[in-house]
């Protein structure tokens, strides 16, 4: 260990290097309790070398060469603790691999191959594991809830349109959380007519349901409209979720919504979305049918096929009723409770009833098997809340990249026209996306099998009865020549958004060669994303507000990577580039220092001219506020038991906790804590910890002390509790007395604002 001079504390006067096995391990008083103690590594080795500063040079004072243990070989020397170190660049690569979802073993093998073997890497797999664990612990220093709110704040700073909301219980524990980034808001603005809500995902460690709002884009790919972590699946939770969802998307309600067969969810939809068609997920219906009537599906039974036919095949209500009666008779399930309950909800799952509403072909909440698998990988029991959000971002980004690939294919490839001479085909090939255009061409193929069986004409209406070769049934088509409007009993356009073969046959019979504009939905066109979407604050939603910075970053990376690739292998060129980069870095730092000095001078000038009567009110601080309080009646409050370490830390902690005034407490004394995070979290305490950082962004304040709080100071109003906050600046120290209002959401009245007093600056 080195010894430094007492004056400057920088000059080393002597130092000593010893063997890593020097000394002996101190005997632990608890050894008798240890079942499997660690093996001894120290042998009291005397090998050492001592150096002393003489005449400006370090000279050897003492040298002991002999070791009393076996020495390591060159192949194992890299495993010594003194030879292991995770550099800053290596740490960045480890973090990137972990955030990308790469397993630790695979990332360690890849890093070893880059440097030519594990011997040259400089750290072991255990070091990598310990580094990630330490990083995870540091990121969770505020607990799960505190880290979550910090993550949301970072997202808002990168894009102001990011929306999030959370609900708390009476004990200030976070219960329900909802979030939607800018791209989700844009997607819902363009494609939010039909949505699905899937709550089948659950975190394995806490069993908190993950709710995903999703739908189809113009390429009929999956898009995410929002996500939520719920405490439970009750009507109150779903009411809060749906109201928050509407608030995030500027009160735009969907036309159709698919969910599973959950009664609490159905009740909440009826209350919040009274005019929205509620459809049931057919996949969940099949699973429930197997669960309740599995005994009817044995020994070659056709019950499952007959039940599927009732869901998908029959387009007429009479056909459905006849088939359902046959199922009841053949399988003798007249008195089955589940059969009766599912029949009472037939308008929500049978094709003959669902064709009245716009569904876009959606019949299930399981829109994508790959999405289900990717999301479930994010919900492993060893994944904390921040890791979940990073993995979830990757899943959402992967789905968005799929749309980008479809967009590329649409611009790169010319669609194949099955009937090139058809004016209608030529028209829609330029309008529809390739996926939807292929579906319309399928209808053109069926058009050639259609025959006009009857034709009745009146003054403003032409009625056709059309049948199809090798198809059972007849379809009635009504055509209005003046408006060029058309309707068919199959309701293909009303249900999916494209014209059916029967309507095309009627158009052909009346020499209508192109599809009228009112029958081309914008959501299926190539221009579906053209338009302006506004967020809840009235701002235009931008997917990437820092697009210029992103383009600059990509341009510089491309230049620097190409330069590094060209000069690698030539020592002179590498030295020249390195010296040039060092010089460039120095110039950038000089420019930054000049900018910082200028900004500091401007702030000092503003502080001199600012009045000491300027006050800071609680309403001027943009803090995160919960939306509503979740309550549960009839049970006493309970908290998890704290460990001895937590109890000891709480006793020795010097940080004060800001408590709510009496008027802020919940009126439900028996309300139970609705969430049990790994670390219990007080929203008020988090505000007191984070508030100084928020103050530091104000233009008139240079630095805030860590919350000098003095509670229960006299104030002008007896219902207020005031706090003294010490704020340091170059002109002195100002103490501001801030009273807390009875409710955080209530704005302070002029009389209440008089209770905020700023004391004049004093010397340090």
pLDDT tens for 628-666 read: 666 655 444 445 555 555 565 566 554 444 333 333 333
Q: Where do we find the tokens 């992967």?
A: 398
**What's the Cα-to-Cα distance from 245 to each of 116, 188, 226, 541, rounded to whole Å?**
52, 11, 8, 16
- pLDDT of res. 566: 87
Q: What is the pLDDT of residue 691?
A: 40
In sequence order, the β-bridge partners of residue 196 are 214, 258
What is the Cα–Cα distance from 19 to 17, expressed in whole angstroms? 7
Weakly modelled stretches of the chain, pLDDT under 70 = 1, 4-8, 29-32, 202-208, 369, 380-382, 546-548, 603-626, 628-764
Cα separation of 416 and 221, whole Å?
21
pLDDT of residue 647: 61
Dist. CA 239–CA 232, nearest whole Å: 12
Give the separation between CA 116 and CA 74, rounded to whole angstroms: 16
Q: What is the reported pLDDT for 116?
A: 84
Residues 664, 665, 668: CA angle, nearest 5 degrees: 140
Measured distance CA(238)–CA(83) in Å, rounded? 56
Torsional class of 520: left (φ above 0), alpha (ψ -120 to 50), beta (otherwise): beta
Structure tokens at 359: 């569904």
DSSP string, 123-192: S-HHHHHHHHHHHHHHHTTTHHHHHHHHHHHHHHHH-TT-EEEEEEETTS-EEEEEEE-HHHHHHHHHHT
Residue 178: per-residue pLDDT = 95
pLDDT computed for residue 706 by the predictor = 37
Tokens in use for 632?
A: 């549960």
pTM over 0.85: no
| pLDDT tens digits, one per residue of 3-59 | 766 666 778 889 999 998 999 888 776 666 777 777 888 899 999 999 998 888 889
């Amino acid at each position: 260990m080195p010894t430094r001079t007492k004056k400057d504390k920088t000059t080393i006067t002597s130092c000593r290097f010893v063997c890593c096995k020097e000394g002996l391990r101190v005997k632990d008083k608890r050894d008798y309790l240890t079942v499997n103690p660690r093996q001894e590594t120290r042998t009291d080795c005397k090998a050492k070398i001592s150096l002393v500063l003489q005449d400006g040079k370090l000279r050897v004072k003492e040298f002991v060469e002999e070791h009393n243990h076996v020495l390591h070989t060159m192949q194992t020397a890299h495993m010594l603790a003194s030879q292991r170190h995770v550099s800053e660049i290596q740490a960045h690569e480890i973090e990137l691999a972990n955030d990308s979802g790469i397993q630790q073993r695979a990332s360690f093998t890849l890093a070893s191959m880059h440097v030519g073997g594990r011997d040259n890497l400089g750290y072991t797999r255990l070091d990598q594991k310990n580094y990630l664990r330490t990083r995870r612990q540091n990121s969770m220093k505020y607990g799960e809830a505190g880290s979550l709110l910090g993550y949301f704040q970072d997202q808002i700073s990168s894009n102001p349109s990011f929306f999030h909301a959370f609900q708390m219980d009476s004990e200030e524990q976070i219960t329900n959380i909802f979030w939607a980034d800018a791209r989700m808001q844009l997607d819902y603005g363009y494609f939010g007519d039909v949505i699905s809500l899937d709550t089948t995902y659950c975190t394995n460690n806490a069993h908190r349901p993950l709710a995903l709002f999703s739908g189809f884009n113009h390429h009929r790919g999956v898009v995410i409209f929002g996500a939520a972590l719920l405490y439970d699946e009750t009507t109150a939770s779903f009411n809060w979720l749906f109201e928050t969802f509407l608030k995030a998307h500027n009160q735009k309600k969907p036309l159709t919504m698919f969910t599973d067969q959950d009664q609490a969810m159905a009740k909440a939809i009826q209350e919040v979305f009274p005019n929205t068609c509620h459809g049931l997920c057919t996949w969940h219906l099949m699973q429930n049918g197997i669960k309740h009537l599995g005994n009817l599906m044995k020994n070659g039974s056709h019950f499952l096929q007959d039940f599927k036919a009732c869901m998908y095949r029959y387009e007429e209500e009479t056909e459905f009723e006849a088939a359902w009666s046959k199922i009841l008779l053949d399988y003798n399930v007249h008195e089955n409770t589940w059969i009766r309950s599912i029949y009472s909800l037939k308008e929500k799952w049978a094709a003959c009833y669902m064709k009245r509403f716009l569904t876009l072909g959606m019949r299930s909440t399981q829109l994508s098997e790959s999405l289900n698998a990717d999301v479930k990988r994010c919900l492993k029991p060893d994944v904390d809340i921040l890791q979940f959000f990073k993995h979830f971002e990757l899943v959402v980004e992967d789905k968005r990249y799929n749309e980008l690939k479809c967009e590329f294919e649409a611009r790169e490839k010319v669609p194949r026209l099955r009937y090139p001479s058809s004016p209608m085909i030529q028209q829609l090939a330029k309008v529809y996306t390739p996926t939807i255009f292929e579906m319309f061409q399928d209808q053109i193929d069926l058009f050639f099998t259609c025959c006009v069986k009857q034709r009745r004409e009146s003054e403003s209406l032409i009625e056709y009865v059309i049948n199809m070769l090798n198809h059972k049934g007849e379809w009635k088509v009504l055509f209005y020549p003046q408006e060029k409007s058309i309707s068919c009993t199959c309701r293909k356009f009303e249900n999916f958004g494209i014209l059916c073969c029967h309507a095309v046959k009627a158009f052909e019979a009346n020499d209508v060669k192109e599809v009228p504009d009112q029958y081309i939905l914008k959501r299926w066109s190539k221009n579906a994303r053209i338009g302006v979407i506004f967020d809840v604050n009235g701002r235009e939603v931008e997917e990437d507000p820092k697009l210029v910075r992103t383009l600059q970053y990509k341009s510089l990376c491309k230049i620097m990577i190409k330069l590094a690739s060209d000069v690698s292998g030539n020592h002179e060129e590498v030295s020249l580039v390195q010296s040039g980069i060092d010089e460039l870095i120095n110039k950038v730092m000089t420019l930054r220092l000049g900018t910082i000095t200028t900004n500091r001078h401007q702030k000092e000038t503003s502080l001199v001219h600012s009045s000491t009567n300027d006050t800071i009110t609680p309403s001027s601080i943009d803090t995160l506020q919960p939306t509503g309080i979740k309550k549960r009646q009839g049970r006493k409050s309970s908290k998890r038991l704290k460990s001895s370490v937590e109890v000891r830390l709480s006793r020795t902690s010097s940080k004060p906790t800001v408590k709510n005034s009496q008027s802020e407490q919940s009126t439900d004394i028996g309300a139970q804590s609705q969430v049990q995070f790994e670390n219990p979290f007080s929203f008020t305490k988090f505000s007191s910890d984070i508030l100084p950082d928020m103050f530091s962004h104000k233009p008139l304040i240079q630095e805030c002390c860590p919350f000098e709080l003095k509670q229960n100071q006299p104030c002008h109003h007896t219902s207020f509790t005031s706090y003294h906050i010490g704020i340091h600046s170059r002109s002195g120290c100002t103490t501001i007395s801030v009273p807390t209002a009875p409710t955080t959401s209530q704005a302070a009245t002029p009389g209440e604002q008089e209770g905020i007093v700023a004391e004049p600056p004093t010397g340090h």
